[in-house]
A and B are shown apart, each in its own frame.
Chain A
């Protein structure tokens, strides 16, 4: 027989004892006491005591110990540090991020007008004309071999053809000059004046003239310069002299009709703006460059992917042969990239050069800040037609260097961003930690990388809570360069002020931003396979300022046996509760126990409210200096 059945039987016996007593007096005085003594230690009912016949029904309401250790074991993110202090921890993994296509520059474009600008003509040369005495003074034929006085006389204009110039048919001169030198080997003086004129033969247009306004005596040599700026010079022209002579100036001289003076015509090099020629043979070279304004300064780099697109248009009237040379771009064999093109007049050529596998190299400077391109233009005609070439005629060139990615690079980098794919994590902060203001939270950011450039983290760690509030911490720290060739370097960034992230009780944390590679000060090498990875660990010691707050447990159902309820219903007299609380937490709560027959109304409109019981906080144990001795509060309510 169970205790319960025994008790119920006993109760029935008590209930009907009045009726039994007149028949069972012996039973009343002997049997009952024996039974009572026998059962009193086993039944949860206290044996009724005369004269009241009362007993007690005990209902356990709560028997619960909340230990922090249990809490730690239940929560994945809670652990216990070496001092026994509870701490909350979580971590974010930053996956391996390879450099990949981030070693890239461009795109860059350049448009150039490849005109001759200064069309330089080598000097058409020089020629010396000889004028005999009888050319300018016909009486010398008669006086030849005699000693006589020659009176002053005028020189009639005498024209002599300059030898035909083979270089051109005509030119329009931007700048240049011709030097006229007269050497007088006559027995007479020349001048004053002597005029020298250069006249185009075909249209008699004046090319230039000069006047010697001083007397040119026997044996004297005098020069003058004629400026040819903005003059047209044809391939056939005449040199004309005129003026006067003062003769022998009253002195009898031996007359030699073959004696002479010379006029030398000597051209300088000419800069022309226009040339008409049957056989244009002009080469000109123009050096140009494309400015590489980027975060990469290359000393040597291997192109992984890239191309040059160009468009050339020939505005000349003749065929042009173009050699386009990129002295900073080399093939695997070390040959500079060049293209040779033939472009017919007024036509265009458009082409693409694939740069994959080419090298970019700095050749004159330490680093490549400009991509040089040298154009050699060769003009050539394939007929006897006369062509006119103007200095403003041009090959119009347009070059586009696409965004170019490199497999590896030696040089300088400036803050090349390695974007971190934002790792994020959902958090479940234990509800017991709600409303805390944490004293400190430790952030460990362990990086692994083999990038041999100095780096700076430009990262933001953001915590977001269920209400949408967020708190961010900037992580701007320097990561030293990994030694070149080293497989992996580890570096730890520590922050001890991450508590604000947790004070909002976050449900999510995420890390966003970049690692910026290079600071332009160092030269090193980087490859597309170089990488950075890391792990962010957050540890929060549970040392906190706690605001006043309310904690409610989930209502607990207490089942009362149906038989007990019958007894309670019919025979209850009174009731009381005993509450015993041991507390080793460093703060003492006020405890209330609420009872209701409906689960929904436990906290809204409880039928019974026990308490509040003011619980003492745990006392600091002087022997351990930190741990608490539990307080014990017992109350009868």
Chain B
């Protein structure tokens, strides 16, 4: 989760994004990989911002 304390990160540029995939293993079973196999990962961050109407 993105907490309030995390938000200042997005005030900087660039920011660096790493991806960690932890494969659980196949528990001794053989598996095959085919050409069509894939993993597709999409991630977006949405930041809510507010106009300063007091100013």
Interface on A for B, CB 8 Å cutoff?
A: 11, 14-15, 17-18, 48, 52-69, 72, 80, 83-86, 439, 541-553, 555-562, 565, 567-599, 602-603, 606-608, 610-612, 615, 618, 626-628, 630, 637
Given the contacts A546-B23, A591-B19, A599-B16, A575 and B38 also touching, CB distance less than 8 Å = no
Contacts of B48 in A (CB 8 A): 54-56, 572-575
A608 near B9 with CB under 8 A, answer yes
Q: Given contact pairs A59-B44, A547-B25, A591-B22, enumerate 11 new A-B contacts (beta carbons under 8 Å).
A: A61-B43, A65-B41, A66-B39, A67-B35, A555-B17, A572-B49, A574-B48, A580-B43, A581-B40, A586-B33, A594-B17
B17 near A602 with CB under 8 A, answer yes
A555 near B31 with CB under 8 A, answer no
Given the contacts A571-B52, A589-B22, A603-B18, A578 and B36 also touching, CB distance less than 8 Å = no
Contacts of A560 in B (CB 8 A): 10, 12-15
Given the contacts A587-B24, A599-B16, A575 and B42 also touching, CB distance less than 8 Å = no
The total number of A-B Cβ pairs within 8 Å is 313
Contact with A along B1-14 (1 / 0, CB 8 A): 11010110111111
Q: Which of A62, A541, A542, A627 contacts B43 (CB 8 A)?
A: A62
Given the contacts A55-B48, A576-B46, A630 and B38 also touching, CB distance less than 8 Å = yes
A568 near B47 with CB under 8 A, answer yes
Given the contacts A575-B6, A576-B2, A552 and B19 also touching, CB distance less than 8 Å = yes
A603 near B20 with CB under 8 A, answer yes
Q: Which of B4, B28, B47, B52 contacts A15 (CB 8 A)?
A: B52
Cα of A18 to Cα of B30 in the assembled complex, Å: 67
A626 near B43 with CB under 8 A, answer no
Cα of A248 to Cα of B24 in the assembled complex, Å: 137
Cα of A68 to Cα of B39 in the assembled complex, Å: 9
Question: Nearest Cβ distance between residue A26 and chain B, in whole angstroms?
Answer: 20
Question: Nearest Cβ distance between residue A573 and chain B, in whole angstroms?
Answer: 4
Cα of A602 to Cα of B9 in the assembled complex, Å: 12
Chain B residue nearest in CB terms to A594: B18
Q: Which of A15, A576, A582, A595 contacts B38 (CB 8 A)?
A: A582
Question: Nearest Cβ distance between residue B49 and chain A, in whole angstroms?
Answer: 4
B35 near A574 with CB under 8 A, answer no
A595 near B16 with CB under 8 A, answer yes
B14 near A557 with CB under 8 A, answer yes
